[in-house]
Structure 1
Amino acid sequence: MKRLFGICLASWLALSTPIQVQARADQIQLQENHPQEYVVVKGDTLWDISGHFLKKPWRWPELWDVNPQIDDPHWIYPGDILYLTWVNGQPKLRLKNDRMQPRARVSKLDSAIPAIPLKDLFAFLSDNVVLDEELLKKTPYVLGGRNERIIAGAGDRIYARGEIDQGHIAQNVYRPAKKYIDPSTKELLGYELLKVAEARISALNGDITSLEIIKSREEVRVLDRVIPAPEARIQSVFYPVAAPLESRGQILAVLRGVTKIGRYDAVTINLGKREGLKSGHVFKVFTRGETIKDPLTKEKVTLPAEEAGTLMVFKTYDKVSYGLIMTATNVLSIGDTIRSPDADN
């Protein structure tokens, strides 16, 4: 967790003159109106803070690296004052002098400044899964409940059929909710499942498993799927980096069930592990060009796509991934395209 909240001030690429900054696209570029100082406020993220200084705030890991002025355990908090300085021709972001002297400091963990707004991710990290068609068919399913019930809730017993991993007492119950189809190739990319309950194995009898429902969000129904509860710690550390140069895709869905997409909305995209995606990969989002009628020729003309936001991948599957909209300069929609920030427009 230290690295999540760490102020890391990575060595910048050498910047000796403004001309060199403009000449090389891979150089980090400062905002033209960047401040010399910034006071950290509650609700800030490292991404937000870097946005005051960088034209591409997703490159904040290159701005924040080892900084000896920041006292262990390398966290910043609301009220800290940051300032921009230059050392050997390289820009550095540091803390004001009142933090330089060693002294004891007691602060709550949840008051430290995170890299990105984790509260917007936790539900999606634990409550949504995507399975391919073959795996979905093999996943154990709910037969019903005690006394021939077809719905059940917390405190009830249910029965599932299929091969359940006996090494995991804790199980989650999911409901297939959405089928993802690639809009271009029409390939079936997978099925999204939403968690409806948490359960615990109470007995095994051949391919029939008895489970006690511990907690439920919705009523458990026949044909809901049973999947072992994840034991691994949910990933909470993300270090943004440009998506692979050749990566191009589309937004398939928004996870909150709305049609228009804005900042901090979670979305599904039609790219996954097979395309080399990993958590932390960043894309530019382009709105689809509108189709309008030429007032002179009367023919229909499709306007060019325009850059309108930034997306960071936070969970990957084989053929699809979940991403969080980090910035949005316009309303985004399902079907908008995504490209690597390093790709030519």
Structure 2
Amino acid sequence: MWGTGLALLLTATLAQAQGLSWEQGLRSDAPDRYTVVRGDTLWHISGRFLRHPWQWPEVWQVNPQIRNPHLIYPGDVVYLYDCNGRPCLGLERGQGEVRLSPEVRRIPVREAIEPIPLDTVRHFLRDHRVVDDPESLDELAYVVAGNDRRIISGAGDRIYARGELESGQRYGIYRVGERYSDAATGETLGLELISIGRARAGHSEDGIALMEVLSASQEVRNDDIVLPLEERELISEFVPRAPDHDVDGTILAVPGGVRFIGRLQVVALDRGRHDGLETGHVLQVEQQGERVVDPRTGESLRLPGTDAGLVMVFRPYERMSYGLVMQATRSLEVGDRLHNPRRGVGVVQR
């Protein structure tokens, strides 16, 4: 659960597993105490103390001072202390818990601190999905006509769709977006589908179903795709961590066509489940070094690349993934390289 992940953050003991010292594990400007405020996130809080916010799940150990630490709330205090020569993080419960014998009353879950800015992810997942095999589109249900011979339809209108549709079931209506391809081989990695709206299927005859459009962000057109609504919960498996194997990929695209990329923007990556990526994996972004001319030999040289940010995978598909830019020291671009985070070098959040 999200709450379990949050508990791990503040019950982290940096001395375990990695053997981090005061110098290795903490930021030089880490505070002694920090009071959690509304709007904080797991990443933001851990980044105030740790040089690498994504490292905390790898080194955590339950702090015996905290009993059943399921959630972190505004008003709780995170404090730094020494345990056997190593830095540890403790938690003092603030306004998030009121002890009333014989029960403990907690602030509702909706007011607890989130791991990352979830609204950005939820909004994106509501409007985007990927088909791994574009050839399968021919087998999916699709809009064949609007009611009264309308070319476009909207909320409250009726449409006709052809395909296997179950009466009474709600479906998503999608339009084909960008075709994601491998830059080197040209291989198709996935086909983006953009949400247009939702509709409920009614009675059907000879494979054609009458549907009522329940909501629409754009006009519904003939040939739009009709798919069962996708379950998109990001709860139990969402724990930020480095991949346990080498990853070498690139930023494939930015949904919406933006060229320069900043913090909290969604990016498409050219690696997916086939390459071992999972929800929560954190990748370093490396920008290619500039080309310069050797002043003595006249040779064209490529300068070493520069680490420029961190991306967290939140929705992996078979051959590609969607990720959220968590940190950026400069504007990122399509084509920037992705690899495992470097433990020796921190990235300053901008």
Same fold (TM over 0.5): yes
Number of the residue aligned with 1:198: 198
Q: Which moved more, 1:66-75 or 1:217-226?
A: 66-75
**Matching residue's letter, 1:56:** H
Give, in whole Å, the separation in 1 of the partners of 2:116 and 2:218.
30
Out of 69, 75, 90, the residue aligned to residue 79 of structure 1 is 75
Task: Give distance in 2, aligned partners of 1:41 and 1:287.
Answer: 34
Q: Report the CA distance between 1:86 and its aligned residue.
A: 2.4
* Paired position in structure 1 for 2:139: 138
CA distance in 1, matches of 2:299, 2:167: 65
1:283-322 pair list within 5 angstroms = 283-293=283-293, 300-322=300-322
Q: Aligned in 2, Cα 1:29/1:144: closer, same or farther, shift over 3 Å?
A: same
**SS of structure 2 residue aligned to 1:141:** strand
Residue 264 of structure 1 deviates from its aligned partner by 0.7
Spell out the pairing of 1:246-265 with structure 2 (5 A cutoff). Answer: 246-265=246-265
Match of 1:266, as an amino acid?
Answer: V
| 1:63–1:92 CA contact under 8 A, matched in 2 | no
Name the count of aligned residue pairs: 336
The CA distance in 2 between the partners of 1:182 and 1:191, in whole Å, is: 12
Residue correspondence of structure 1 range 4-19 to structure 2 within 5 A: 6-8=6-8, 9-12=11-14, 13=16, 18=21
Are the structure 2 counterparts of residues 4 and 193 from structure 1 closer, same or farther at C-alpha, using a change threshold of 3 Å? farther
Deviation at 1:114, TM superposition (A): 1.1
Question: In 2 relative to 1, CA 204–14 (structure 1 residues): closer, same or farther, beyond 3 Å?
Answer: closer
| Match of residue 84 from structure 2 | 88
1:187 maps onto 2:187 in alignment: yes
State the distance in 1 between where 2:17 and 2:242 align: 20
In structure 2, the residue matched to 1:25 is: none
Change (3 A) 1:61 1:167: farther
Once the two structures are TM-superposed, the CA of residue 98 in structure 1 deviates from its matched residue by 6.5
What is the aligned-residue identity percentage?
Answer: 42
User: Superposed, which structure 2 residues align to 1:1-345 within 5 Å?
Assistant: 1=1, 3=3, 6-8=6-8, 9-12=11-14, 13=16, 18=21, 29-62=25-58, 66-70=62-66, 74-96=70-92, 102-103=99-100, 104-131=104-131, 132-164=133-165, 166=166, 169-230=169-230, 232=231, 234-237=233-236, 238-293=238-293, 300-341=300-341
Cα distance in 1 between the residues matched to 2:168 and 2:292: 57
For the residue of structure 2 that corresponds to 1:52, the secondary structure is: helix
Change (3 A) 1:64 1:80: farther
Once the two structures are superposed, residues 209-263 of structure 1 have per-residue CA deviations (whole angstroms, 9 ceiling, x without a partner) of 2211000000011111100013x46224510121243211111111243211111
How far 1:83 moved relative to its partner? 0.6
Note the C-alpha offset of 1:90: 4.1
1:101 to 1:177, Cα distance in 2 relative to 1, 3 A: closer
**CA distance in 1 between partners of 2:184 and 2:78 (Å):** 47
Q: Within 2, Cα distance between the matches of 1:16 and 1:279? A: 26
Q: Structure 2: where are the runs of 5+ without partners?
A: 346-350
Cα 1:332–1:182 shift into 2, 3 Å: same
Cα drift, residue 47 of structure 1? 1.1
Contact 2:34 2:77 in 1 (8 A): yes
TM-score w.r.t. length of structure 2: 0.86
* Unpaired segments ≥5 residues, structure 1: 23-27
Q: For residue 159 of structure 1, report the CA deviation from its aligned partner.
A: 1.2
1:293 deviates by 4.9
Deviates more, 1:93-102 or 1:145-154: 93-102
Provide the rounded CA distance (Å) in 1 between the counterparts of 2:76 and 2:153.
Answer: 51
1:117 Cα deviation from its structure 2 partner = 1.2
CA distance in 2, matches of 1:259, 1:233: 27
| Distance (Å, rounded) in 2 between the aligned partners of 1:294 and 1:176 | 48
Q: Tell me the TM-score normalized by structure 1.
A: 0.87
